[in-house]
Structure 1
Amino acid sequence: MNLANFRELGGLKNKEGRKVKHNRLLRSGEVFQIDDASRTTLKQHELNKIIDLRGKQEITTRPDDELESVSYHWIDIMKEVHDNGSMEDLMDVSDLQLVDSHMKKIYYNLILNEGAQQGYREYFEELLKTETGSVLFHCFAGKDRTGVAAALTLEFLEVPRETIYEDYLKTNSQRKKPNEQFLKEAASRGLSEGQLAGIKVAMEVEKDYLDYAYQLIDENFGGIQGYGKEVLRLSPSDYQLLQELYLD
């Protein structure tokens, strides 16, 4: 199976002991030139809808595969961010502190940029419209834009934060092979050890990044409920519907 960083959120327990329904919420990296094993897995998970959180250039050069009976929805989360921290931007950066601050800037924008806020609002609108089958949401690597989407979704399903962090950090083990391949290719192009170390940082997730996202939510909206109300415009009935749709 070559669908990178794929997992379903089904089975995760919330604070009341209810479980996220199986075959409802899936996350991954890009759905580009996936193999038969990946297609079979998605079929087994009753895939109904794909939400692609990538930018215009990403979907132009590496468009998602068309899958039978699956609807496709494009939401460019970083559309209003000109410096969006793409891997190409980081190729020439060998200062690890600079890469780290670059990654923090991405999370700053994911929480506070108006385009990103609108994008996550649309994402939740799509979740609330999906009554059957599973939704696969993804970006390029399935780690930052997708990681924040997963964290927010699990928050509103009242999954404990400890569990949310566990899911977020799974990216590092699940992207190990694709990352190693990417670094190998980068090394063959003559990048220095410092540049390769910087790319490695950019391809992984850190607890600090999600910490920073929560910090921004707390400082600017008074917590996750304030963010849900002010930014996502979710009503009490929306929360109720979300839990009815995605919790056993």
Structure 2
Amino acid sequence: MTDLDLERVVPLEGGHNFRDLGGYPTMDGRTVARGLIYRSGTMAELSDGDHAMLDAIGLKVICDFRSSQERDRRPSRLPAMASYEIWARDHHSSAGDVTFALQTPGATADTARLHILEAYRDLAYEQAPSYRELFRRIVDGPLPLVFHCAAGKDRTGIAAALLLDLLGVERAIIMQDYALTDRFFARGCELVAKDPFGAKLKGIDPQIWEPIMRADPSYLAAMFDTLEQRHGSARGFLKEELDLSDADCATIRTRLLI
């Protein structure tokens, strides 16, 4: 990692891929403010020291994008009297479709990659209710806020990309932020193995399922391409699918840019 990357990562003992979205320059010469929006992977193994760290950064809200089943299997380890709000919605995830595809006869790394590419064309729509809540809270809710899923790569990665795009960060930098998740690849695989769902990957050649764990920028590009084809731009998706008005978008920029 570069020095800037290391500065962005919050050093949690039991956390995964927890990092500040601030510090990135925008195309109009401003900068995304530090210490307001964070992205993360699972919080199922946070230590008492990690809880103290979250208090130290002044965290106000946790938005958990995981499905109801994921939260039941691997609940977040948070204080009973947490000082921050925890938001999640009851829903079923399509993540199981990926595992099913890997278990079919003749599955290869290439077919796994193609499957995850197709998933990225749908994920923004599947997660639209969660993203709508996230952006609404950024418009008029308390900050700092962290949003997360399990690996902090797919659902979280798309949300981060949409937010950075709205703020005017260059697409190349957005891709770099997404690709940073690969720095935590080994830890991500370790955590997946602890989830009963991940047990379905046992017996499958790691070379076959590794592509679904990688933060390949082509996945994010597929998401952006789909939104641009259907809505003209990623911001068109925010307005048409997440009900964000021009005034909402302007408020988000005012709150998060310096």
CA contact (8 A) 2:42 2:150 kept: yes
1:21 maps to what in 2?
33
Question: Is 1:120 paired with 2:117?
Answer: no
Query: 78, 81, 84: which is aligned to 1:70?
Result: 84
Distance 2:100 2:15 in 1: 24
Give secondary structure in 1 for the equivalent of 2:214: coil
Matches within 5 A, 1:34-45: 34-45=46-57
Letter in 2 for 1:66: L
Give secondary structure in 1 for the equivalent of 2:205: helix
The alpha-carbon deviation at position 234 of structure 1 amounts to: 1.2
CA contact (8 A) 2:68 2:92 kept: no
Distance 1:210 1:166 in 2: 11
1:103 maps to what in 2?
116
Letter in 2 for 1:138: H
Letter in 1 for 2:152: G
The alpha-carbon deviation at position 137 of structure 1 amounts to: 0.3
**Structure 1 range deviating more: 58-67 or 166-175:** 58-67
The alpha-carbon deviation at position 175 of structure 1 amounts to: 3.0
Distance 2:210 2:97 in 1: 13
The alpha-carbon deviation at position 205 of structure 1 amounts to: 1.5
CA contact (8 A) 1:6 1:28 kept: yes
CA contact (8 A) 2:18 2:41 kept: yes
Give secondary structure in 1 for the equivalent of 2:222: helix
CA contact (8 A) 2:60 2:85 kept: yes
Identity within the alignment, %: 28
The alpha-carbon deviation at position 215 of structure 1 amounts to: 0.7
CA offsets 1:13-58 (integer angstroms, 9 cap, x no match): 1112212111111111111131134223322322110000000100
Question: Is 1:54 paired with 2:63?
Answer: no
The alpha-carbon deviation at position 190 of structure 1 amounts to: 9.8
Distance 1:176 1:138 in 2: 18
Query: 206, 210, 223: which is aligned to 2:216?
Result: 206
Letter in 2 for 1:74: A
* Gap runs ≥5 in structure 1: none
Letter in 2 for 1:110: L
What TM-score results when the alignment is normalised by the length of structure 1? 0.86
Q: CA RMSD in A?
A: 2.7
